Every structure is written in C-alpha cells, then in structure tokens.
C-alpha cells in the first residue's frame, strides 16, 4: 500500500497576526505582492469590485489570500479559461498570477520568494476541491 501525502491545509490568519505573518513571509515586499494580487483580481473578473481579503498560511509554508465574500467570480483568463470560481479559489488564482508575475522581478529576493510561494501554492491546488479549475485558469 502506498502512503498518500497529507493534504496541504489552509489556516486562516487571525486579525492580530496578519502584519507579523506578512512580514515573516515577504519581508518588505508584502505591499508589492498585495497590490499585484488586487490588480490581477480586477483584471481576471469583472465581478471583482474590491473587498476585504483574508490571509491564509499553508501547512507547507506557503501563503494565500482570498476575498471575504460569499459570491462567485466569473473569471476570464488570457489563456482561454472561462468559468466561475468561489472566493477562496479566486483568491488562490489571483495569488498564483501575482507570484508568477513577481517571480520575474529584477529584485532577486522578491523573485526568489515569489517563485517559492508559487510552487507551494500550486502544490496545494492538487488537493483543493476546485484545484482543476484554478490550475486551468493559471496554466
């Protein structure tokens, strides 16, 4: 019998821990990352009109954000993907776009952090209920 690895868990970051988590994972680059996520949210879905975003740490050391709302987002990606995503899946998708985009930064530290987080979040998608849709929208 083959042991299946444990699914990667998403843990909501408490309000009073948000700044500490952001600083630990992104150093001085969190504002750059966060604004890039919001820009991709706006670009990927006309249903996005701003929102409060929850932060999530991943059990593999990764990070994700998701808008705090209860409606779906119709996503139209440049790769041809079109479909609805729940807020958590939409947030993961936006984060993956932001991580990918910033991984090409001329700033080596930012590039390396974003590359690492991209791969950690992508791995978490393999166990996510909407993982197929997320990956289709991002790949």
pLDDT at 2: 62
**H or E segment at 69?**
none
The DSSP code sequence of 37-71 is HHHHHHHH-TT-----EEEEEETTS-EEEEES-SS
DSSP letter assigned to residue 129 = T
DSSP letter assigned to residue 78 = T
Q: How far are the Cα atoms of 12, 21, 80, 110 from residue 115, in angstroms, in the given order?
A: 22, 18, 24, 8
Beta strands in 3-127 (DSSP E): 10-12, 53-58, 63-67, 73-76, 82-85
**pTM for this prediction:** 0.94
Kindly give, in sequence order, each residue whose CB lies less than 8 Å from that of residue 132, ignoring residues fewer than 6 positions away: none
Could you tell me the domains of the chain?
10-138 (3.30.70.3580)
Instruction: For the chain of 139 residues, list the mean pLDDT of each consecutive stretch of 10.
Output: 77 96 92 96 96 96 96 95 96 97 96 96 92 93
> Is the separation of the CB atoms in 7 and 127 below 8 Å?
yes
pLDDT at 4: 62
Helix (H, G, I), strand (E, B) or coil at 6: coil
* Alpha-carbon span 31 to 29, nearest angstrom: 6
pLDDT at 139: 84
pLDDT at 101: 97
Closest CA to 81 of 45, 115, 126: 45
């Amino acid at each position: 019998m083959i042991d299946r690895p444990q699914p990667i868990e998403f843990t909501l970051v408490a309000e009073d821990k948000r700044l500490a988590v952001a600083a630990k994972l992104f150093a001085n680059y969190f504002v750059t990352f966060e604004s890039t996520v919001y820009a991709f949210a706006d670009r990927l879905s006309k249903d996005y009109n701003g929102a409060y975003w929850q932060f999530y740490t991943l059990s593999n050391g990764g990070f994700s954000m998701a808008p705090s709302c209860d409606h779906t987002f119709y996503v139209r990606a440049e790769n041809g993907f079109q479909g609805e995503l729940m807020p958590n899946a939409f947030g993961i998708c936006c984060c993956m776009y932001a991580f990918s985009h910033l991984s090409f930064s001329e700033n080596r530290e930012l590039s390396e952090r974003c590359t690492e987080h991209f791969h950690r979040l992508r791995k978490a998608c393999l166990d996510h209920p909407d993982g197929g849709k997320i990956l289709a929208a991002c790949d």
